[in-house]
Amino acid sequence: MMDNRRLFNWTAWGYDFITRQEIWREQIRQTLTYAQDPQGLEEVLDLGCGPGISTFVFGEALVDAKIVGVDVAEKMIRRARAHHLTSYSHLENVKFDRADVYDLPFEAESFDLAVGHSFLYLLPDRLNALRSILEVLRPGGILVLMEPNAEGTVAQALRHVEGRRWLRSPFAAGRFATSMVMWRIVSRSQGQLRKDELEGLFEGAGFYGCHVQPTLGGLGLHAVGKKRG
């Protein structure tokens, strides 16, 4: 199987094009609802930031926080930095680093929130990735993931988008539909996750207070866990 760095270097342009749409951005924004006091956050880590769409969403929503987007694929980081310069230069609270989750270039206890939006399922050693994330979280810090649900279907995700949306912006809705089909295909080959599997991984890595619930009409799962304070 192709490793993630090569896969996402190769698909960076297409991924960027297909996920640059409001429905995906809304989905990313939802991960912030798990933080007790989002406006009190100071340092946020966006894991597997891709072309930066998720990082910009956090940068806009959390104006007082510093957000770092990391990705293992150089082409993703290059695209994220280019978008930052051309379309998001007003976001001075955002920056990008090329980094592998297994070897994060940050001091222990640096972040109060880490988010991985469509990320963990891609990794061959999920438990060690979660341990590495736990290390850079501050005591009391939280990790929120959005992952493909092994029990979901694309039809569920499409039903999740109200009819008005399809009529108002058919192009954006069409892009969303395409992105969901692609996500399903890629995640099927990389390994979709189940609720109990995610809970077990979080607990095995040392997180507590873990809970997992469906999102995207059941096509995705939100998984949340805390570092002991």
Ligand X SMILES: C[S@@+](CC[C@H](N)C(=O)[O-])C[C@H]1O[C@@H](n2cnc3c(N)ncnc32)[C@H](O)[C@@H]1O
Q: Which residue lies nearer to ligand X by CB, 56 or 139?
A: 56
Give the x-and-dash track for 46-85 against ligand X (CB under 6 A).
Answer: --xxx--xx---------------xxxx--x---------
Q: Which residue lies nearer to ligand X by CB, 97 or 139?
A: 97
Report angle CA 150, 154, 156 to the nearest 5 degrees: 95
DSSP secondary structure of 4-36: HHHHHHHTHHHHHHHH-SHHHHHHHHHGGGGSS
What distance in Å separates the CA atoms of residue 150 and residue 111, rounded to the nearest whole number? 30
Quickly tell me which residue has 């395409």 as its tokens.
178
As given in the structure block, the two tokens for residue 55 are: 């990082």
Least distance from ligand X to the Cβ atom of residue 124, Å:
9
List binders of ligand X among 102-161 (CB under 6 A).
117-119, 122-123
* Site membership for ligand X, residue 21 (CB under 6 A): no
Q: Which listed residue (18, 19, 31, 152) binds ligand X by CB under 6 A?
A: 19
What distance in Å separates the CA atoms of residue 148 and residue 216, rounded to the nearest whole number? 9
Q: Which residue lies nearer to ligand X by CB, 114 or 161?
A: 114
User: How many beta carbons lie within 10 A of that of residue 76, not counting itself?
Assistant: 26
Least distance from ligand X to the Cβ atom of residue 123, Å:
6
Binding site residues, ligand X, CB under 6 A = 4, 8, 19, 28, 48-50, 53-54, 70-73, 76, 100-101, 117-119, 122-123
